[in-house]
């Protein structure tokens, strides 16, 4: 008998446009000592399944049909007060963001002891001892001291360990982990996944691991269930589903995942039941405005040369110099980018990779160092006009498609704005034609110009962002985590688009990402950053096959492996 059985679950959210069915007739089971991966893209309903099992649906959501059985006992019809003895005691949950999962004004001890005393009939002394043991088991050093501390005194990874200790505190039979490592860096992610795997095996726990990340599934799950738009598409052993998927949707989803072990030329054009509605047009650029002018003659050799670049931010101002606090976001970084190549910058959060982009584009001024672009000085030391002229050739695609477009402007004005500001066109008709062409080029169609950003999905917005960046006819395009906010199938389409544009327009790319498999697919050469320093620069394949520096070796060994 399975530990947890979900039979024909249906979850509905009544709303303005009628009832939205978030989970449609899903049946699943989990055994003791088993990790079931629940995978899907945004809107698949995977988190809703977890919340529905624990009766934690956000209002107005409701379990409209179906049954939930725990160890042979039906639990979906229990009253709220009876259900409370199941939550935490028999089924626990781990949330995505460890920074917000803990009450900020109580000690770790208070929160652990409170949970233990709620469910177990033990003395306060015993509960305190148990709490210390728990912290020890989840790998927190010096638990007797640290238990007296408050959440803000722990790092992100340590906090997630505390969250896991809280979830384990009364020895539940089942844990539902909802994207438990999505907010964490890759090295921390590997440790937390290892901890969950260990606990599952040593305590014979059932685990439902909800995630969007195929790499995480491949590394951790025994079995995997694939969801799409509320429906369960396919269930099976992880190896079978990932290597030989039976269903069309699963096939296309897996085809879109960037493999970690080899470089592929293009992501296959997949027959998804539903893409972002855009397809790359066959577009003839010959004689077109975008390709016109001498700027597109491929300059061989170095296009950008960065020497000893540093950026220091003031984080706390004070009257006296000695009381001011600074942080060095980039420390003496040097690299060069050759014309026509894609240069990658990879690193974890806080490594300074995005700051490099913002200093290169002039959003933040450099503290010291040199930046030479096509022979022109970008720092402004040899004249502001020289820097400004060079910057016209540099454009950027941002990370967050929802905040990178001004919601109060129509798409047409957004894409036309660079041309208006820089007086690139002589009249409105010419500008409108170019906007239409640009929108065709990125696969949206010219009608998009009359709409507002909120009418588009994340992937489509990223295409608009690319169209805007191309409007100044740049030679150098900086992509700062351009796909990290997107689903994997949309990511594949955007990455393909970037590769196509690069070939057709002869662009040079600086591609910034924390995602190693994506970097491997996109880049010719890669720089690895940590704490503001550039640790290593090498050909992409060399970085992955024979990393020289210890940090790079650690990164590459701990990235979730998803091989094809």
- Residues of this chain that interact with another protein (CB under 8 A) are 16, 54, 56, 59, 84-89, 92-93, 95, 97, 100-107, 114-115, 118-119, 150, 152-153, 163, 166-167, 169, 317, 358, 361-363, 388, 391-392, 395-396, 398-400, 403-408, 417-418, 421-422, 465, 468, 472
User: How is 460-496 classified by DSSP, letter by letter?
Assistant: HHHHHHHHHHHTT--SEEEEESTTTTS-HHHHHHHHH
Other Cβ atoms less than 10 A from the Cβ of 298: the count is 11
At residue 137's C-alpha, the angle toward residues 135 and 139, to 5°, is 75
Cβ 60 to another protein shortest distance, Å: 8
**Burial class of residue 375 in the structure, from the number of CB atoms within 10 Å of its CB (0-12 exposed, 13-18 middle, 19+ buried):** exposed
d(CA 138, CA 512): 33
Q: Which is nearer to another protein, 401 or 517 (CB)?
A: 401
What's the distance, Cα to Cα, between the start and end of the chain in Å? 34
Cβ 252 to another protein shortest distance, Å: 30
Q: Cβ(292)–Cβ(548) under 8 Å? A: no
Angle subtended by helix axes 186-203 and 550-558, to nearest 10: 50
Decide the pairing of beta strands 4-15 and 18-30. antiparallel
Cβ 73 to another protein shortest distance, Å: 16
Q: Which is nearer to another protein, 118 or 187 (CB)?
A: 118
Reference 136, options 148, 146, 151, 121; nearest CA is 146
Q: Which is nearer to another protein, 343 or 398 (CB)?
A: 398
Q: Which is nearer to another protein, 283 or 452 (CB)?
A: 452
Q: Which is nearer to another protein, 51 or 540 (CB)?
A: 51
d(CA 412, CA 437): 11
Mention every residue, 6+ apart, whose C-beta is less than 8 A from residue 279.
443
Task: Give the 3-state secondary structure percentages of the chain, helix then strand then coil, rounded to 5.
Answer: 35, 25, 40
Q: Which residue has the tokens 């600086």?
A: 510
Q: Which is nearer to another protein, 430 or 539 (CB)?
A: 430
Q: Which is nearer to another protein, 86 or 253 (CB)?
A: 86
With residue 369 as reference, give the H or E element that holds it: strand 368-373
Q: Which is nearer to another protein, 210 or 255 (CB)?
A: 210
Cβ 362 to another protein shortest distance, Å: 7
Cβ 58 to another protein shortest distance, Å: 9
With residue 63 as reference, give the H or E element that holds it: strand 62-70
Report the half-sphere exposure of 190 (CA within 13 A, side-chain side): 10
Q: Which is nearer to another protein, 36 or 175 (CB)?
A: 175
Helix (H, G, I), strand (E, B) or coil at 448: helix
Q: Which residue has the tokens 């962002």?
A: 465
Helix (H, G, I), strand (E, B) or coil at 307: strand
Q: Which is nearer to another protein, 169 or 252 (CB)?
A: 169
Cβ 53 to another protein shortest distance, Å: 11
Q: Cβ(21)–Cβ(70) under 8 Å? A: no
Q: What does DSSP assign to residue 402?
A: T
Q: What does DSSP assign to residue 453?
A: G
Q: Which is nearer to another protein, 71 or 332 (CB)?
A: 71
Cβ 89 to another protein shortest distance, Å: 6
503-513: burial string, b at 16+ Cβ within 10 Å, e else: eebbbbbbbbb
Q: Which is nearer to another protein, 340 or 418 (CB)?
A: 418
Q: Which two tokens stand for residue 313?
A: 């931010």
d(CA 136, CA 389): 59
Q: Cβ(8)–Cβ(65) under 8 Å? A: yes
């Amino acid at each position: 008998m399975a530990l947890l059985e979900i039979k024909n679950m249906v979850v509905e959210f009544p709303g303005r446009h009628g009832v939205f069915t978030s989970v449609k007739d899903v049946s699943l089971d989990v055994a003791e000592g088993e990790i079931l991966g629940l995978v899907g893209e945004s809107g698949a309903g995977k988190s809703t399944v977890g919340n529905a099992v624990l009766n934690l649906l956000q209002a107005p959501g409701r379990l409209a049909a179906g049954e939930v059985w725990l160890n042979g006992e039906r639990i979906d019809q229990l009253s709220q007060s009876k259900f409370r003895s199941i939550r935490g005691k028999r089924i626990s949950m781990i949330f995505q963001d460890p920074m917000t999962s803990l009450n900020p004004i109580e000690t770790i001890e208070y929160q652990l002891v409170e949970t233990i005393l709620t469910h177990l009939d033990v003395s306060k002394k015993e509960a305190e001892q148990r709490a210390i043991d728990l912290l020890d088991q989840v790998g927190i050093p010096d638990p007797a001291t640290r238990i007296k501390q408050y959440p803000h005194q722990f790092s992100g990874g340590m906090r997630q360990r505390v969250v896991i200790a809280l979830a384990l505190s009364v020895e539940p039979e089942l844990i539902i982990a909802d994207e438990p490592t999505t907010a964490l860096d890759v090295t921390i992610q590997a440790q937390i996944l290892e901890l969950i795997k260990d606990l599952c095996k040593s305590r014979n726990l059932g685990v439902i691991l909800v995630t969007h990340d195929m790499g995480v599934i491949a590394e951790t799950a025994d079995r995997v269930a694939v969801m799409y738009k509320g429906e369960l598409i396919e269930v099976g052993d992880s190896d079978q589903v990932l290597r030989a998927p039976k269903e069309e949707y699963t096939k296309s989803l897996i085809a879109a995942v960037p493999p970690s072990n080899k470089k592929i030329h293009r992501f296959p054009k997949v027959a998804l039941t539903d893409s972002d509605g855009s397809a790359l047009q066959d577009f003839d650029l010959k004689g077109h405005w975008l390709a016109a002018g001498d700027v597109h003659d491929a300059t061989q050799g170095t296009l950008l040369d960065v020497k000893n670049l540093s950026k220091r931010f003031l984080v706390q101002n004070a009257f006296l110099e000695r009381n001011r606090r600074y942080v060095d976001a980039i420390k003496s970084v040097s690299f060069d980018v050759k014309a026509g190549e894609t240069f990658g910058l990879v690193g974890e959060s806080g490594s300074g990779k995005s700051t490099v982009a913002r200093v290169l584009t002039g959003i933040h001024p450099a503290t010291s160092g040199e930046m030479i672009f096509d022979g022109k000085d970008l720092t402004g030391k040899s004249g502001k006009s020289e820097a400004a002229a060079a910057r016209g050739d540099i454009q950027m695609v941002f990370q967050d498609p929802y905040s990178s477009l001004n919601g109060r402007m129509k798409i047409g004005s957004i894409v036309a704005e660079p041309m208006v500001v820089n007086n690139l066109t002589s009249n409105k008709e010419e500008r409108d034609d170019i906007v239409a062409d640009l929108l065709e080029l990125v696969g949206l169609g010219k009608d998009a110009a009359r709409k507002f950003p909120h009418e588009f999905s994340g992937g489509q917005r990223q295409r608009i962002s690319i169209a805007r960046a191309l409007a100044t006819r740049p030679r150098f395009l900086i992509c700062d985590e351009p796909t990290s906010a997107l689903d994997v199938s949309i990511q594949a389409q955007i990455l393909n688009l970037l590769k196509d544009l690069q070939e057709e327009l002869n662009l040079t790319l600086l591609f910034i990402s924390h995602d190693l498999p994506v970097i491997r697919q996109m880049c010719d050469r890669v720089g690895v950053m940590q704490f503001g320093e550039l640790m290593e620069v090498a050909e992409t394949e060399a970085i992955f096959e024979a990393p020289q520096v210890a940090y790079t070796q650690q990164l590459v060994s701990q990235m979730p492996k998803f091989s094809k």
